[in-house]
Amino acid sequence: MCAKALCAVGQRGTHGDNDIEIRRLINFETATDGTAVRLLAEDIAGRTIGIILTIETLSALLMTLPTMASSAVKRAHSDPAMRITYPATDFQIELSPGNARILTIGTPGGFTVSFSLTEEFSQELGEAHLRGISRRARTH
């Protein structure tokens, strides 16, 4: 058994026999040396499985997850303007060596994310917030 929409993908040859459908995430463990994590999950058959990720792989996954979730929610609602949003309830700004700012934003559920900002970008972000709307041109 597989998620309905992905079963259709599988019929086109991009959904493999080695796929595991996760019903729910259970917990995680961190390696004692901090070099990896183990995600504990339950598959649709009720089995507990472990997925071990190095910090490098976990970091790459963290950078990919927002795009994956955004793509899915836009398709699910047939609305390219749809967004996943979380209520921000706290923030912290720290000055790091080299005069960069570290902006950490948190939610009521304990989720936090940190961004490194240059002094110029921090100023621009503050001004955009005061104006109420703005969009910076993307650079790569």
Segment 28-45, tens digit of pLDDT:
999 999 999 999 999 999
Average pLDDT over residues 80-92: 93
pLDDT-derived band at 140, boundaries 50, 70, 90: very low
At residue 11, does pLDDT exceed 60? no
Going by pLDDT thresholds of 50, 70 and 90, the confidence category of residue 5 is low
pLDDT digits (tens, 9 = 90+) for 54-78: 999 999 999 999 999 999 999 999 9
| 10 vs 119, higher pLDDT | 119
Q: Are 39 and 28 in contact (CB under 8 A)?
A: yes
Q: What is the C-alpha to C-alpha distance for residues 113 and 105, in angstroms, rounded to an integer? A: 6
The answer to whether the CB of 7 falls within 8 A of the CB of 15 is yes
